[in-house]
Structure 1
Amino acid sequence: MSLILILMLIGALLLLIIGFSIVQQQKERAEAERRVEVSRHRAIIDETEAVLANSGAASCSSHIILVLYKRIQDALEQSISYASGQLLGDYQRRLSDINSQISSISGSTPQVPPVENFRLPDNDRQVLDLVKTLKKLKAILRAEHNKGKVDPSVFNAEEMRIDSLQQRINVESMISRARAACYMKQYGSSKQMVTKALSTLHLIKAQTPNDPFITRKLDEAKQLLDEIMGAQKNSGPAVPQPKKNDDEDDLDMLFQRKKKW
């Protein structure tokens, strides 16, 4: 009898150990999932805030600013359900600030800066940062639209606006760099860049023949090419061309056409 009792106690102990182990594993799994979710929403918040920080340089409209704020709002609301302690309080305060910003923008007249007033930043590093910002902005806009959180008319207008800004940056950058190279008597590099700008402009012109910016830039690029050809003809021996700097390489990589395999 005592042997049966001992065996029963051992069995019960084993069941307790197994049960405790299962509960512990579930807690660890839940904690790991919580950390993953917190990290994911933290990344969304950081990325969106980085884009917002550069929204002025990107001439963003109030429509796209509202999309960005609502994305942060959603990520904060999700994070609150996983956070605790000081982090929870921080998220709640930030959510309150974001809600105020959204209310302010929603209650104001929409602001849409004219694309024609856009000006390229002063140096290649700033241009590169702006190009990256616009790429992230387009990806965010599409992701939010796919979730049904952006009105189709707003999505279409804002995507076209971003495309137009990217085209202007591409053209402005190439013409600016061509002009600078011509000034430094680097006529080979200057001619190559302005020729690339003209090729891009003709492609855009075929798609949007009535765009005044493209027409104006076509005339400017043609005039610059004539200046380069004249200066090159009168300059004598060709000047050795320096190696491109890293910023120019990065810009070319961002703007170049993708190969189809």
Structure 2
Amino acid sequence: MQSVSLTLFRFDGLAARTWAFAMMGFARPMMRRVPGLSFWKLCGSGTGEGFTPLPNTAVYAILSVFEDEDQARAAITAARPWSLYRNRAREAWTVFLSPISSRGAWSGVAPFEVQRDTHDGPLVALTRATVKPAIAARFWKRVPDVSRSIGSDPNVMFKIGIGEVPLLHQITFSIWPDAKSMGAFARKSGPHAAAIDAVRSGRWFKEELYARFRVTGEQGTWDGQSPRLGTQIGSQEG
């Protein structure tokens, strides 16, 4: 069954961060040669909670879709793109996912094959949108309030904003303990609901995709711990 993964890398120092930025272009030919890889995106991230237009030059991501989880784990452990990133990164974390719902398109395709939900435990909400250039200023004006709303929610286990092209391509990724808490956040009034209403009424997006996943596994650490489980695994400097 299809396996989706998100790998985050944290880089220290100007040299490592410059290298990671350059790999947004240089890693593309390598990604095309990875066996079993049907869809992938190389992404940067935002500052703060991640949902901001200001880039975080320390954090980069690889989102990938494989034919099954065995291929995903093999590639992330040994394939050249992940190995190169990991060798220069201070920290790396991968979460493995099973798609359980998806609607919309990403770069003109529907990348996720929805599967029957046979797992328990945390759920992931992923949204991806291409913002119309003429609307970008209005869209990003609302984002800080949405970011604070997500960050202050006591149920969210992990959240980050990433993207392929600054300002125009935005991806939100959040992990929730269950469907009830995820749904409660989506339905409650406030900045998030107001932003959704504005997007719908103003047709701000050229392309959009909304997907839900069940978490099936993870490896590595982020901020010295497992973000999904909240279990301290190791320490980190700074």
Query: Is TM-score (shorter-chain normalized) higher than 0.5?
Result: no
Give the structure with the higher percent helix.
1
Structure number with the bigger relative contact order (C-alpha 8 A, sep ≥ 6) is 2
TM-score range, shorter chain: under 0.3
TM-score, structure 2 as length reference: 0.25
